[in-house]
Amino acid sequence: MPAKLKLLKNKLQNSEISFKEDELLSKHTSFEVGGPATIFIEPLDKTDLIKSLEFVKELDINYFVLGGGSNIIVSDHGYNGAIIAMSKLNKVRFQNNKVIAETGISLEKLCDKIAENNLTGMEFACGIPGSLGGAVFMNAGAYGGEIKQVIKKASLFSGNRGLIEYNKEQLDLDYRQSILQKNNLIAIEAVLELKPAPKSIIIEKMEELNEKRWAKQPMDYPSAGSAFKRPPDNYAGSLIEKAGLKGEKVGGAMVSKKHAGFIINANNARAADIIDLMITVQNKVKKKFNIQLYPEPRFLGQFDKLPQLDS
């Protein structure tokens, strides 16, 4: 283990911050692929999280903050550095129509808590895999809703400025984009502003949207959600299907037969299988329609090759 990582271990031990060594990231990603992380840190609260972030910045160690692991493809070689897992930062409180939530909470749990408090506006997110932090980072959306419509402000960590607070306008939310991506910021807490409604109506809407997802999407297989971003004035899934790629396989990875916009882990896929299949899809769609598809998930670790990325 490099000297910097040994120093990090000592700092974490002295601060009594929970961590593991050589933790397989396949256990923490929705695609269920990925090799080991050298150090896997599990902060219990915001204080531990900020300390962990300060340690890795101080020691100049490669690090990645992991939410629900739903929009990421991790290399089979793993990650040489520190993973900071947000899953235990999942507290939520309510102030009238406002929801103040730590960003490690899963969207599923958050939506359930919101429904219990008779607030509407987050139903669109009830079936989106992943965490609130990832949803803010990507401005996640579905069925006509997106985080941009409900967020009021967020507490962020900046490596240069420490803790900062941005309002909705400063977050610069757009289709699968935010200021967090551009400036390497980490969402720690978000404030959502919703509207009151009867719980029965909210739950009915959530169930309706979940039924749609299960009917149209391969929810019973590991995946990272939509494999490609929506191209202008078109749909990735439609283009992939018209290119005859439904059911296309590389190793254990497959283009879903239910929805061509999804690449699934059909049979113990490796990350390399998924990458090769994404490249195949890009090449065939480009050849047939002269449209370039770009991946929606992020890639973590060292890869021998990658699909064409959006600049």
Where exactly does CATH 3.30.43.10 map onto the chain? 3-85
pLDDT of residue 293: 97
- Per-residue model confidence as pLDDT tens digits over 220-277: 999 998 999 999 999 999 999 999 999 999 999 999 999 999 999 999 999 999 999 9
pLDDT at 130 over 90: no
What percentage of the chain exceeds 90 in pLDDT?
88
Where exactly does CATH 3.30.465.10 map onto the chain? 92-206
Q: 225: how many CB neighbours lie within 10 A of its CB?
A: 20
pLDDT at 110 over 90: yes
Dist CA 285 CA 16 (whole Å): 51
pLDDT of residue 159: 82
Dist CA 259 CA 246 (whole Å): 8
- Per-residue model confidence as pLDDT tens digits over 139-175: 988 888 999 999 999 999 998 888 999 999 999 999 8
Amino acid in position 310 = D
Beta bridge partners of 262: 226
Q: 145: how many CB neighbours lie within 10 A of its CB?
A: 17
Q: Are 64 and 79 in contact (CB under 8 A)?
A: yes
**Domain 92-206 adopts which CATH fold?**
3.30.465
pLDDT at 62 over 80: yes
pLDDT of residue 175: 85
DSSP structural state of residue 266 = -
pLDDT of residue 129: 84
Where exactly does CATH 3.90.78.10 map onto the chain? 219-300
pLDDT of residue 264: 98
pLDDT of residue 185: 94
What mean pLDDT is predicted for residues 125-144? Answer: 90
What percentage of the chain exceeds 70 in pLDDT?
99
Per the prediction, the chain carries an average pLDDT of 95
Measured CA distances, 112 to 86, 107, 158 (Å): 19, 9, 30
pLDDT of residue 162: 86
219-300: CATH, from 3.40.50.11540, 3.30.830.10, 3.90.78.10, 3.40.50.1220: 3.90.78.10
**Domain 3-85 adopts which CATH fold?**
3.30.43
What mean pLDDT is predicted for residues 168-192? Answer: 93
The contacts of residue 114 (CB under 8 Å, 6+ apart) are 99, 122, 192, 194, 202
Dist CA 224 CA 271 (whole Å): 12
Measured CA distances, 240 to 142, 221, 296 (Å): 20, 19, 15
Dist CA 249 CA 268 (whole Å): 12
pLDDT of residue 303: 96
- The residue with tokens 């065939």 is 284
Q: Active-site positions?
A: 176, 226, 296
What mean pLDDT is predicted for residues 24-37? Answer: 97
